[in-house]
Amino acid sequence: MASNLPHLCLRKIFKFLSNDKNDTYILRRKNIHSCVLTNRYWCEMAIPFLWKEPFTGSLNSIKSIILVNVLIINFSEQELKSLNLNSILKKYNKTTFDYIKFIRTLIVNAVIEATAFWLQNNPNISNECPIANNLLKKIILNASNLEHIISNSNINVFKFPISKNYFSNLIELTGFDEGISGIYSSISKVAENIKILRFSLTNNHITNSNTVNDISKIIKNQKNLQHFSVDNRLNCYCCSQEYSSLDFTSIFFSLTTQSKSLRYIGLYDINFFSNFPLKQLTLFDNLNHLEITRCYNFGIELNFNQFNSNISFKTLNRITIYYSAIPSNILKFILSKSGKSLKKIKFIGNEVMENFHDLIQHCIIYNSNLSHFLSFIHSNEILLLPKFFKSCQFLKHFEIWDINYSSNIINNNQLLDKLINIDDNLLLNISESIPSNLKIFNIIMNWSFSTIYFDYFLKNLENFNIHLDYLGFPFCSNFTNDHLELIIKNLNYPLKCLNIRNANNIKYDNVERSSKFVKNLVVPNNIRRFVEYDKYFYDIINQNSF
């Protein structure tokens, strides 16, 4: 058992360690029988893993009380007396290890909530006891490997009267401003080795005009920033739009000071005020992933000649655009400059592709090394799919959505009335050109195709040794029982998922027969539904690292 410990599912392990009189160490794990470790060497290896993130997950009252007990019994006698916690000295013995020193991730609000549960369980101790502040200070002072702070409460831990050296190992910061005045200014003065910066801005910034400038200072002060994202929740899709947006121009300029190291940039709910920072984005030597979500006011008057074509997006591996009306000329510029380095495209939302009518053609010309392609497209582009597949022979994940698709159920019912007749030769040519490594083939369009050529399609998959994990025609209303019969007849390998949830005239017997070699089958509700479509499909996406 001891030798297998590093391979245990550590995130499921309840992070509490106790020792008995025989120095035998017992790990109490959630949903797993206790295992006994008699070997101190393996125990000492396991403990740092178990205590890296003790405040993550769902900390209920019982877990919180145990966790706080374990941490505070290692406070010094003077510290406990200053908090009027003398009773702790008598009630518990000190633990074998000082677990605080193993903590690498500090979630400020989780510490506050855990101590609140602990105080409720100790009615003899005053609710005014500053146990939360003292525990936070103790963690920062003694967690020698503290790497990640999630600042999501009304306590500004960066203003504690301690040396900035205690933040020297901090490499990741997630900032949620909950109305703390000057928190970002405090951060800029104490941390300079951060590699991952995430900010989520709330309505509390309305009265704070220095927020953007403080974030800019934090960025400039870093020595090797690699990951940056900002979520302007002040103007997100679910919040009131009555307030003016923050202008992030200074942040975009400050990011260029990290042009050698930045690999990921994520922008959420940003108003660009017709000044999308394309020029700044072209300056990053090693930008690997660009993500833009629910952003707007990009502007369209851009002089592409001003950009350094020797650098522009040469290392871009992945681009993700969600629900953002980005002008097609900007997208075309990014795709053409990224060229063969681009591996993954994910364009979600009809507003992204509304004015981009030749995405497939663009990828055929510039992006032949694609491994993952998921996008809304215009129906006329499907004629180019055989050329696309021949060009992109490394493709593993292919998914296309009708440009008219909407998250609104009523609108999508209308989509079922809009048949797209697939020419027989087109379906045949697609099957003859599909890359051998393809695992996911998902069509979120209402394709209509004959059974004769669907038979050829399936036979070619087998002939070319193409073993799909996921085959999806969820909106194909003309998919019939005859089509399903062909799948049963031709597929000689197991499918992880077959999605035909809007098929017509499917027989129950065939559904039962299909389920023997299709692990998860999604069929119309009036027949039987074996799996929730969204859940399983997104599991597959995660498995394929999209």
- For 24-129, list the strands marked E by DSSP: 25-29, 32-37, 105-107
* 115 in the same domain as 137: yes
Question: What 8-state DSSP symbol labels residue 16?
Answer: -
Average pLDDT, the chain: 82
Tell me, yes or no, whether 42 and 61 share the same domain.
no
Structural domain includes residue 356: no
Q: How far is CA 365 from the centre of its chain?
A: 30
Give every CB contact of residue 359 below 8 A, 6+ residues apart in sequence. Answer: 331, 347, 353, 375, 377, 381
pLDDT tops 80 at residue 37: no
Q: Is residue 519 part of a domain?
A: yes
**Among residues of the chain, what percentage have pLDDT more than 90?**
45
CB 262 within 8 A of CB 286: yes
Q: Is the residue at 466 inside a domain?
A: yes
- For range 385-405, the mean pLDDT: 96
Q: What angle do CA 498, 447, 483 make, to 5 degrees?
A: 50
345: left (phi over 0), alpha (psi -120 to 50) or beta: beta
Residue 157 pLDDT: 84
Does residue 117 share a domain with residue 27? no
Residue pLDDT, tens place only, 340-389: 999 999 999 999 999 999 999 999 999 999 999 999 999 999 999 999 99
Distance CA 153, CA 111 (A): 10
How confident is the model over 174-196, as a mean pLDDT?
Answer: 78
Residues 424 and 526 in one domain: yes
pLDDT, position 508:
84
Structure tokens belonging to residue 97: 């290890």
Query: Are 65 and 2 contained in the same domain?
Result: no
Look at residue 263 and tell me whether its pLDDT is greater than 90.
Answer: yes
Domain tally, the chain: 3
Do both 519 and 455 map to the same domain?
yes
Q: Can you say whether residue 23 is alpha, beta or left, with left for phi > 0 and alpha for psi between -120 and 50 degrees?
A: left
Q: Are 34 and 56 in the same domain?
A: no
- pLDDT, one tens digit per residue, over 290-309 is 999 999 999 876 666 666 66
Q: How close are the terminal C-alpha atoms of the chain, in Å?
A: 35
Q: What is the pLDDT of residue 209?
A: 62
**Domain of residue 13, residue span:** 1-51
Could you give the CA distance from residue 48 to residue 104 in angstroms, rounded to a whole number?
A: 9
Nearest to 444 by CA among 519, 533, 536: 533
User: What integer is the mean pLDDT of 183-212?
Assistant: 77
Pairing of the two strands 17-19 and 25-29 = antiparallel
Q: How many CB atoms lie within 10 A of CB 240?
A: 9
Same domain, 94 and 122: yes
What would the mean pLDDT of 36-52 be, rounded to a whole number? 69
Quick one: 21 and 58 in the same domain?
Answer: no
Neighbour count for residue 321 (Cβ, 10 Å): 23
Residues 57 and 28 in one domain: no
Q: Note whether residue 506 is domain-resident.
A: yes
- Specify the amino acid at residue 109: N
Regarding whether 33 and 98 lie in a shared domain, the answer is: no
Is 524 a domain residue?
Answer: yes
Mean pLDDT confidence for 146-150 = 89
Residue 59 lies in a domain: yes
Instruction: Report if residue 120 sits inside a domain.
Output: yes
Please report the pLDDT score of residue 339 as a whole number: 96
Nearest residue to 264 (alpha-carbon basis) of 197, 184, 340: 197
478 and 442 fall within a common domain: yes
Q: What does the pLDDT read at residue 302?
A: 65
| 249 token code pair | 């121009």
**How far is the C-alpha of 305 from the C-alpha of 310, rounded, in Å?**
12
- Rounded Cα distance, 109 and 153, in Å: 5
Decide if 155 contacts 182 (C-beta within 8 A): no
Q: In this structure, is residue 396 part of a structural domain?
A: no
pLDDT band at 167 (very low <50, low <70, confident <90, very high): confident
Q: Which residue has the higher pLDDT, 262 or 161?
A: 262
